[in-house]
Each structure stands twice: as C-alpha cells, then as structure tokens.
Amino acid sequence: MKLKVCGMKYNPEEVAAMQPDYLGFIFWESSSRFFDGEIPTLPVEINKIGVFVDASIDTILEKIKKYKLNAVQLHGKESPKYCKSLRYSYNTLKQDQIFDLKIIKVFSIKDEFDFSILQPYEEICDYFLFDTKGKLPGGNGYTFDWSVLKNYPSTKPYFLSGGIGLDNSKQIEEFLGRPESKYCYAIDVNSMFEEAPGLKNIEDLKEFKKKLTDN
C-alpha cells in the first residue's frame, strides 16, 4: 500500500526522510498549507504532487515546470474536458520533462455518492481520490463512511483520503481486508498528522507508516 503525505509546507525534508511514496504540495492560495517556497532536493523515488483547485491550465503548467511535479491532484470542479485539455497542453509543451504527467481527480463523499459521475473521467485520469465532503476542499479533519466504496464500479486505482490519522490504523487494516479495497492504491494523510497547518509530526507519521507497511 502506497502512502501520500499531503499539505507539505514547513518540514518536507524531514517527511521525505521517512520515505513516503508521494508528497503533496498545495497551490491553492486560500489554504493554510499554501506552498510558495522552494522544494528541497528529494529522493527520486518520491513523487511530487501539486494540488490545485479550479486553477487555470497555464498556472498548473507553470507549477509543473517550476517544481518538476510528477502528478497533479485536481480538487475542484474540473470537468472531463478540462482534464483532457490539461493533458494535451502538457504533452504539447513538456519538452524537457522526462516523465508522463499523472492526473488525480478528487471526488468528495459524505454519506453517499453517485459513482456514475466517474465514468467520463475514466479514460482521462490516472487515479481517483476520495475525500470527505466538507466546508473546504480537503483538510477538514474527519473521515467519510468508507462502506460507500462497496459500490465502486471501476478498476481505476484510487487514493483513500479524508481525516485519516494514527487512530484509524485498525480501521484501515479492516478496510484493506474487505473487497471494496481491491483498487485502493494509496492512503493519503494530512491534517491529522500536524502540529500546526503544514508542520508534520514525524514520529506519528513513522508509526503510521510502519503499521501501514505491516498490513
């Protein structure tokens, strides 16, 4: 099971030292975890994800180039047409980029979800991400009812997100033993591992990663 630590801001090097698979950097200015610094040199095996909310394609392309992002996470109301345009624009302009851009489309869930919404994104996006529906697009600090994913109709790999913390370790272990976890590709954590917005608690992350690996 892959691990993504999102909302990086103040201590990305410390987090990178524990070798998660993905680090997420938020480029939505309204977020308390908005990133506008310099990303330190990271191990090549750690993928850098840029998180955007209804940003212009030009803005995303500029961040990809500046930070050498491996993937983008679209956390707004981006349409299938938008996602297709983003991929086309990247492929046209990538030139010095040595990797194909991965697109992660986020969908927010509370008590239920209409999975037919996913179908138009199937051929365009590389991953889905399921987060908790709340006041903000992410970082709300509580989980949704994962049993909703019993109705997941796709074979597309997905990230499981939304208020996941150290206390959810047992719950995750149980979830990963159920059929609906078959296409769960990664666990995405953020606010529940913070001492302040963007400042991660390394010891808690290490303990969580160990428990996740043991599964």
Q: Which amino acid is at 11?
A: N
pTM metric for this prediction: 0.93
User: Could you give the CA distance from residue 71 to residue 59 in angstroms, rounded to a whole number?
Assistant: 14
Element (H, E) at 25: strand 22-26
Q: Which amino acid is at 62?
A: E
User: Could you give the CA distance from residue 129 to residue 73 in angstroms, rounded to a whole number?
Assistant: 8
pLDDT tens profile 6-24: 999 999 999 999 999 999 9
Maximum distance among all Cα pairs of the chain, rounded to whole angstroms: 45
Question: What SS3 class is residue 124?
Answer: coil
Domains detected in the chain = 2-214 (3.20.20.70)
pLDDT tens profile 43-89: 999 999 999 999 999 999 999 999 999 999 999 999 999 999 999 99
